[in-house]
Structure 1
Amino acid sequence: MKTDVFKITHIDKYNIFIPAEIFQPFADQKMNRVKVEISHQQKNIDFYAAIKRDKNSGDFKMMFSKAKQKELNLDLGDEFTIQLFEDTSKYGVDMPEELEAVLMSDYDAYQIFESLTKGKQRSIIYGVLRFKNSQQKIDKSLIMCENLKRGNHEPIKMFKLE
């Protein structure tokens, strides 16, 4: 399932508003997470996002980070193109290779990770993704696995040795 490519004007510094008629087929299928592709001035990004109904307008909205806006060189009032796709990923975000390899090498940690809610799984994945260096991702993944096995599931402490 996907939308056609459509144009949006950037009117809010924190959110993108999606017209109800565009997102409604996803909402009818109880899908609130999508893969998003945005283009502006020959720059393209794709990411996963949660979309919620805006109580005021009846349209739908998703958070749109300052980092993504900067990456696209997008200012308020600019027009950009967007396309939404059904999220067919397992976790609602792409799993980093380093984390996947560490989890595959530690069955107990993998079992615990799989038992967590989708939101906690995404938090862990995003926590690993914030590290740029591959070795750091591996190191933090190993620490996270040890913390999972110790019963420490708090996102703030997940990547620290105790």
Structure 2
Amino acid sequence: MPKLKSKPFEISVTGSFYSLLLPEDIIQPFLEKKLKRVKVKASFDGKTLDFHGAIQKRKGLHYMMFGKRYQRELGVFPNDYFQLQFFEDDSKYGVEMPEELDAVLLSDYEAFQIFESFTAGKKRGIIYMISRYKNSQTRIDKSILMCENLKRGVRHSPDLLKKI
């Protein structure tokens, strides 16, 4: 069965300057399939940015966060119109898993079991913590440290990457 995708559409950053007010006709097919997490392709002035996002509902309207980091990467400012397109997210965690973290978790069954026991949001948070490091060796080192801390009983996210 083909994966769901939207047509490309124009949008601008609104409100708090970190969110996007989503058109109902665009997101309705995703909501009907109970898909609240989507892959997103943003385009502006010859640049493209791919990321994972969550469709959130507030006061009867649907939004998606689009923080300063994404705005900077794409080169958009509040009130600039740019193009978005949504795709069905078929990733296991709702975000791309760094190869280094995946390899370390696969090599440490006890830490993997603890990681898998977390909520989907906590898993994504951990994945984001590791993926923010640009250097592959740093991602490996932080993944190993995180696994050791999990096995020591550390569960508070900010403490997972601290040496104990």
TM-score, normalised to structure 1, is: 0.94
CA contact 2:13–2:66 (8 Å) conserved in 1: no
Give the aligned partner of residue 33 of structure 1.
37
Quick check: 1:100 aligned with 2:105?
A: no
Give the aligned partner of residue 10 of structure 1.
13
Q: Supply the RMSD in Å over aligned alpha carbons.
A: 1.1
Letter of the 1:135 counterpart: Q
**Which deviations, in whole Å up to 9, do the C-alpha atoms of 1:74-99 show, x marking residues without a partner?**
01221111100111000011010111
The alignment partner of 2:39 has SS state of strand
Report 1:33-52 matches (<5 A): 33-52=37-56
Which of 106, 109, 112 aligns to 1:110? It is: 112
Q: Distance in 2 between matches of 1:75 and 1:139?
A: 36
1:101 deviates by: 1.0
Letter of the 1:10 counterpart: V
Give the aligned partner of residue 24 of structure 1.
28
Instruction: Give 4+ residue runs of structure 1 displaced > 6 Å after superposition.
Output: none
1:9 deviates by: 2.9
1:119 deviates by: 0.8
Q: Distance in 2 between matches of 1:85 and 1:39?
A: 14
CA contact 2:24–2:62 (8 Å) conserved in 1: yes
Q: Distance in 1 between matches of 2:97 and 2:29?
A: 27
Q: Distance in 1 between matches of 2:57 and 2:126?
A: 26
The alignment of Structure 1 onto Structure 2 pairs a total of residues equal to 160
1:108 deviates by: 1.0
Which of 63, 77, 80 aligns to 1:75? It is: 77
Q: Distance in 1 between matches of 2:153 and 2:97?
A: 22
Q: Distance in 1 between matches of 2:142 and 2:78?
A: 37
**What 5-or-longer segments of structure 1 have no aligned partner?**
none
**Which deviations, in whole Å up to 9, do the C-alpha atoms of 1:83-133 show, x marking residues without a partner?**
001110000110101111111111111111112111111111011011121
